[in-house]
């Protein structure tokens, strides 16, 4: 695991006219998780020849690994348990967990995380990116009650422009959420800077920071459209 430096967020050489963006960011709230299993899954996700079934498996696997890292920041409380031999002190989670995928690509990460957090509550936020302006449009939101008492994990495979993530975090906060993490697979400096500028309290956990966005707001080199590849709805390679 590698943690970015402690300088405030910086976005360098960003062309706001939707030209190619090259940037880098440094922020203590951004965690880039380095692990051989994550690297192997990420390589499979990036490869354009990876079939949908293999893409789904790799995305679920990497999501579980990223979740394991994110969970290190969760609050716990002491709890006495009885073993078959005697009692001892243990720790349990202090807050109920809520997984919130951004539709639809976030559902793939949810499939993996739900396997290890079967008792987690699940909310859904539907946000799509308007193709011309790249601005987010929220079309659906269904969240559990009492979010202020929970640990929320917002999930989306990509953090590109950061607009959709910011819209989702704003919606979560308006619904009462106070403890929010954003977990993604691939990010880039413009998206990180956008999210950290608007929501500096939100920790970002990611497997990779790619260098740029193209004219269409896609991360380069990235892994393509995660939703299309996960659900098999994209063009054939």
Which residues are known catalytic residues?
129, 133, 225, 228
Spatial distance between the Cα atoms of 158 and 162, rounded to a whole number of angstroms:
9
How far CA 164 is from CA of 52, 74, 96, 192, 201, in Å, comes to 25, 24, 25, 12, 17
Q: CA nearest 48: which of 223, 213, 184, 188?
A: 223
Using CB atoms within 10 Å of the CB of residue 157, give its burial: 0 to 12 exposed, 13 to 18 middle, 19+ buried.
Answer: buried
E strands in 10-134: 21-22, 30-32, 76-82, 87-93, 97-103, 121-122, 124-129
Which residues 6+ apart lie within 8 Å of 23 measured at CB?
11, 12, 13, 14, 188, 189, 190, 193, 211, 212
Q: CA nearest 67: which of 95, 103, 109, 100?
A: 109
Contact 106, 155 (CB under 8 A): yes
Q: What is the Cα Rg of the chain in Å?
A: 18
């Amino acid at each position: 695991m590698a943690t970015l430096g402690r300088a405030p967020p910086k976005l360098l050489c960003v062309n706001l006219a939707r030209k190619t963006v090259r940037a880098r960011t440094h922020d203590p709230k951004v965690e880039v998780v380095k692990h051989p299993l994550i690297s192997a899954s990420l390589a499979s996700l990036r490869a354009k020849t990876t079939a949908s079934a293999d893409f789904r498996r790799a995305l679920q696997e990497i999501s579980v690994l990223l979740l394991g890292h994110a969970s290190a920041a969760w609050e716990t409380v002491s709890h006495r348990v009885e073993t078959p031999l005697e009692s001892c002190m243990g720790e349990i989670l202090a807050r109920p967990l809520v997984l919130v995928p951004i539709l639809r690509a976030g559902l793939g990460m949810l499939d993996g995380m739900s396997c290890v957090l079967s008792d987690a509550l699940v909310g859904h936020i539907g946000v799509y990116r308007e193709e011309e302006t790249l601005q987010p449009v929220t079309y659906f939101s269904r969240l559990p009650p009492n979010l202020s008492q929970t640990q929320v994990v917002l999930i989306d495979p990509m953090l590109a422009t950061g607009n959709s993530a910011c819209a989702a975090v704003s919606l979560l906060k308006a619904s009462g959420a106070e403890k929010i993490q954003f977990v993604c697979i691939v990010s880039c400096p413009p998206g990180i800077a956008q999210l950290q500028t608007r929501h500096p309290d939100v920790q970002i956990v990611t497997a990779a920071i790619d260098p740029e966005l193209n004219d269409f707001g896609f991360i380069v080199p990235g892994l393509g459209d995660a939703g299309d590849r996960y659900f098999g709805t994209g063009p054939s390679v």
